């Protein structure tokens, strides 16, 4: 009688361990995969990352889930390419306590914009109600290029206020990108993100 009970207890414990362990491991590994798929599933261009399969029926399990979390309702790449940066050119996370210079030339697209988001991927409240610059609204340098300052304190010229956010995201949107660009996004000439002052 005792032997049967011991055996049954052993099986029950094992079943509970399988259920609990399988569930926990499955969910934890899925959450981890979601977090890191942002790195390896995307096209890289310096600090910029693009998910070229946004909205695509061909997107794999990981890409689809990562895009649903980070870029829901993004358009297909022939319509729009979204490059997102969460780090500067040196690979350090973008933070509001640092001052940045985002500088470059017009990318090959019908229209483009640079938008700043906070840690929760929403626009950052500021009295100036300033959230983005586009090819048509940027202050230009003498050579036709541009410099956009990203910092918590006001800067002359083009400036995006970063408030007191921890993690910042910069999104470069290219509408109707040139065919050469979406054929080889890793080689497109994208703006540099330079940390100027980082206490």
- Cβ nearer to other proteins, comparing 35 with 90: 35
HSE-up (13 A, CA, CB side) for residue 189: 8
Decide if 109 contacts 181 (C-beta within 8 A): yes
- # binding residues, other proteins (CB under 8 A): 60
Nearest-angstrom CA–CA distance, 140 and 83: 22
Near other proteins by CB under 8 A: residue from 41, 42, 43, 54: 54
Binding residue (CB under 8 A) for other proteins from 2, 3, 4, 73:
73
Task: Give yes or no for residue 173 binding other proteins (CB under 8 A).
Answer: yes
Instruction: Sketch the per residue contact string, 3 through 22, with other proteins: x for CB under 8 A, - otherwise.
Output: -------x---x--xxx-xx
Among 60, 57, 109, 58, which Cα is nearest to 83's? 109
Angle between helices 61-70 and 2-40 (to 10 degrees): 70
User: Rounded to an integer, what distance in angstroms lies between the CA atom of residue 51 and that of residue 41?
Assistant: 7
For other proteins, the binding residue among 6, 8, 9, 27 (CB under 8 A) is 27
Angle (CA) 108-113-115 rounded to 5° is 145
Q: List residues near other proteins by CB under 8 A.
A: 10, 14, 17-19, 21-23, 25-27, 29-31, 33-34, 54-57, 61-62, 64-65, 67-76, 79, 82, 84, 110-111, 113, 115, 117, 120-126, 129, 131-132, 134, 136-137, 169, 171, 173, 175-176
């Amino acid at each position: 009688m005792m032997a049967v009970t011991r055996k049954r207890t052993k099986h029950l414990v094992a079943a509970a361990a399988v259920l609990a362990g399988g569930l926990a491991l499955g969910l934890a590994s899925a959450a981890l995969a979601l977090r890191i798929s942002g790195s390896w599933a995307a096209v890289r261009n310096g600090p910029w990352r693009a998910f070229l399969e946004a909205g695509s029926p061909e997107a794999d399990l990981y890409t689809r889930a990562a895009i649903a979390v980070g870029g829901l309702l993004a358009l297909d790449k022939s319509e729009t390419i979204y490059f997102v940066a969460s780090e500067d050119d040196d690979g350090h996370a973008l933070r509001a306590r640092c001052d940045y210079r985002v500088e470059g030339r017009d990318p090959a697209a019908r229209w483009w914009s640079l938008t700043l988001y906070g840690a929760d991927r929403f626009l950052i409240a500021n009295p100036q109600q300033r959230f983005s610059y586009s090819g048509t609204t940027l202050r230009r340098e003498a050579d036709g290029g541009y410099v956009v300052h990203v910092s918590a304190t006001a800067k002359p010229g083009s400036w995006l206020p970063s408030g007191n956010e921890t993690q910042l995201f910069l999104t470069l949107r290219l509408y109707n990108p040139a065919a050469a660009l979406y054929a080889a996004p890793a080689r497109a000439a994208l703006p540099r993100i330079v940390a100027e002052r980082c206490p």
